[in-house]
Amino acid sequence: MRIILLGKPGGGKGTQATMLKDRLGVPQISTGDILREAVKRQTPFGIEAKKFMDAGLLVPDCLIKDLIAERLREQDTAEGFIFDGFPRTIAQAEALKEIGASLGFDIDAVVNIDVSSEAIVTRLSGRRSCQCGAVYHVVSKPPEKEGVCDQCGAALYQRSDDQEAVIRNRLAQYEAQTRPLIDLYEKEGKLVTIDGNKQIEVVFADILAALGV
């Protein structure tokens, strides 16, 4: 199957994509992974993308399109794939259609994981991290001693992208740039919306039922 996962930042797309990848036996594809791999392998597109990344600039859509096309020509995508975080805009969705037309495939389903904005703010702003890699949550997974890591005893901290103002800005960008994709794919008859406020395993079961797998 060829699947796109949509949803707000922090809504669980990455977690569900990993679980779907294991169940369906097809690769999970994100633009971040593609960029890192292309740069690592020093492909022509990777070398070009690195120029923007090193300058602290967004990689332009035209180059992202080339990178996606390059990735979808690889043999492991022959039986399908799961897009996690792509497309993000109408322009990227149109580019994906062009790639599909040139490579002879179409998207089978678009899964929209719907989580309320306030739930996402609570979920992300409550995270606390440690330099050792451990992650806690002030409500759902607090450390034994407040502000101190259970594993190494170091002080916990809040990552800059877990601060409420940053989270709300990311949600605003989603509303402006990515939400229009929901209407686009709904009109094409490919959209299924899943309640993402439930437990991870329940959301996964709902996705499988919606996909008929």
- Choose, from 21, 170, 190, 198, the residue flagged as catalytic: 170
Q: Is the pLDDT of residue 213 over 90?
A: no
Token digits for 187?
């009109």
Which region among 93-107, 156-170, 182-196 has the lowest average model confidence (pLDDT)?
156-170
The yes-or-no answer on residue 170 being catalytic is: yes
Q: What's the predicted TM-score (pTM) here?
A: 0.84
- Residue pair 86/98 in contact by the 8 Å Cβ criterion: no
Residues 57 and 24: their CA atoms lie apart, in Å, by 35
Each as own residue / partner, the long-range contacts of residues 177-185 (CB below 8 Å, 24 or more positions apart, any chain) are 177/88, 177/89, 178/6, 178/88, 178/89, 180/90, 181/6, 181/87, 181/88, 181/89, 181/90, 181/93, 181/110, 182/6, 182/112, 184/90, 184/93, 185/4, 185/6, 185/93, 185/110, 185/112
Q: What is the pLDDT of residues 44-97, one digit of tens each?
A: 888 888 888 788 777 888 888 888 998 999 999 999 999 998 898 999 999 999
**Nearest 5 degrees, angle CA 150-CA 154-CA 158?**
95
The yes-or-no answer on residue 23 being catalytic is: no
The reported pLDDT for the residue numbered 148 is: 97
Q: Is the pLDDT of residue 211 over 80?
A: yes
- Choose, from 13, 65, 71, 128, the residue flagged as catalytic: 13
Q: Is 53 helix (H, G, I), strand (E, B) or coil?
A: helix
Per-domain residue ranges of the chain:
2-211
- Choose, from 88, 97, 190, 198, the residue flagged as catalytic: 88
Residues 181 and 188: their CA atoms lie apart, in Å, by 11
Residues 15 and 25: their CA atoms lie apart, in Å, by 15
Q: Which CATH architecture has domain 2-211?
A: 3-Layer(aba) Sandwich (3.40)
The reported pLDDT for the residue numbered 187 is: 96
> Mean pLDDT of all residues in the chain?
92
The yes-or-no answer on residue 127 being catalytic is: yes
- Residue pair 116/197 in contact by the 8 Å Cβ criterion: yes
Q: How confident is the model at residue 8 (pLDDT cuts 50, 70, 90)?
A: very high
Q: What is the pLDDT of residues 127-153, one digit of tens each?
A: 999 999 999 999 989 999 999 999 999
